Amino acid sequence: MTSYEPFFRPVANNPLNDLQRAHLFYEQLQRGHFHLAFQPVVAPGETQRVLYRESLLRHAGEGLGFNPFPLLERLHVIRPLDHRVICTVLTLLRDNPALTLGCNISALSTVLDSDWDQLLERFSSAPEVARRLVIEITESAVPPNHRSAVDLVHRLRHTGCRVAVDDFGSGFGTLSFIQQSQPDIIKIDQSYIQRARNSTQGEKTLKYLLELCKTLAPCVIVEGIETSADLHLAQSLGSYWVQGYLFGQPSSDTTGMQGSSRISN
């Protein structure tokens, strides 16, 4: 589940162009001004049962005044961020053997390259860590190379890492990619539970999508659960896993966690 609110806090007199904003983002990242917050994916009937915790990027200050993710994707400069986040999550997993974490990557980052070769080698050399990692591929962009993206998913899963298709139904994801890559998890975009709240047609659509996704992946998650009514609705339609603000805002509290959630080089 992608959450952009922490980046929307207004900054006065901010007439920067896209390249300047991208430079500002990476400058802030280099200075250690970003960290991870965590939100659980839980079972509807027993919300203390956690499948994993999604790692979400947060700014430590007053915000940038703009949403960096579409910008970085538009300029095709999001891959360095994705790899830094994965490395930070790997370190946390290594230092916390009881922890299972997920992290988002853009579909633009699904091209096999030397960075991925190094990461895949790390996964293979530490299968006990890889088993506790979920890579969530967002639907906000088209993979540059369909075959390469499918191959990457297969190689990730071969190391023991699980792969999720995030925000399914909201962007550029295709059934063809899902059928060929065979992800472990599909996360249904929060817009579907939002429409199901007030519309019989929306409810039917979510039920159909849940049934479809269960034929494509062993684990399906409904995102955007904000109220007890949402939870009951998702459960009644057959959802086994859910995520949303009902179970808490993404938390930066790392009490009891070894290591730092700050993004570093």
Q: Domain ranges for the chain, please list them.
A: 38-70+77-247
Nearest to 224 by CA among 211, 216, 233: 233
Q: How confident is the model at residue 6 (pLDDT cuts 50, 70, 90)?
A: low
Residue keyed to tokens 């965590």: 38
Q: How confident is the model at residue 116 (pLDDT cuts 50, 70, 90)?
A: very high
Q: CA 103 to CA 257: how far, in whole Å?
A: 17
User: Between the CA of residue 84 and those of 87, 197, 264, what are the distances in Å?
Assistant: 5, 38, 7
Per-residue model confidence (pLDDT) at position 265:
65
Per-residue model confidence (pLDDT) at position 47:
84
Q: Is the dihedral of CA 229, 234, 238, 240 positive or negative?
A: negative
Q: CA 60 to CA 250: how far, in whole Å?
A: 14
Nearest to 190 by CA among 153, 227, 149, 151: 227
Tokens of 61: 């200050």
As a whole number of Å, the end-to-end CA separation of the chain is 24
Q: CA 138 to CA 106: how far, in whole Å?
A: 5
Q: How confident is the model at residue 245 (pLDDT cuts 50, 70, 90)?
A: very high
pLDDT mean across residues, the chain: 92
Fold held by 38-70+77-247: TIM Barrel (3.20.20)
Q: CA 63 to CA 118: how far, in whole Å?
A: 32
Please check the confidence at residue 98 and state whether its pLDDT lies above 70. yes
Per-residue model confidence (pLDDT) at position 205:
97
Please check the confidence at residue 2 and state whether its pLDDT lies above 70. no
Q: How confident is the model at residue 174 (pLDDT cuts 50, 70, 90)?
A: confident
Q: Which residue would you say has higher pLDDT here, 136 or 174?
A: 136
Q: What is the pTM of this model?
A: 0.91
Q: Could you report the per-residue pLDDT of 194-230, keeping only the tens digit for each?
A: 999 999 999 999 999 999 999 999 999 999 999 999 9
Q: How confident is the model at residue 12 (pLDDT cuts 50, 70, 90)?
A: very low
Q: Could you report the per-residue pLDDT of 39-95, keeping only the tens digit for each?
A: 999 999 888 899 999 999 999 887 788 899 999 999 999 999 999 999 999 999 999
Strand partners for 33: none
Please check the confidence at residue 239 and state whether its pLDDT lies above 70. yes
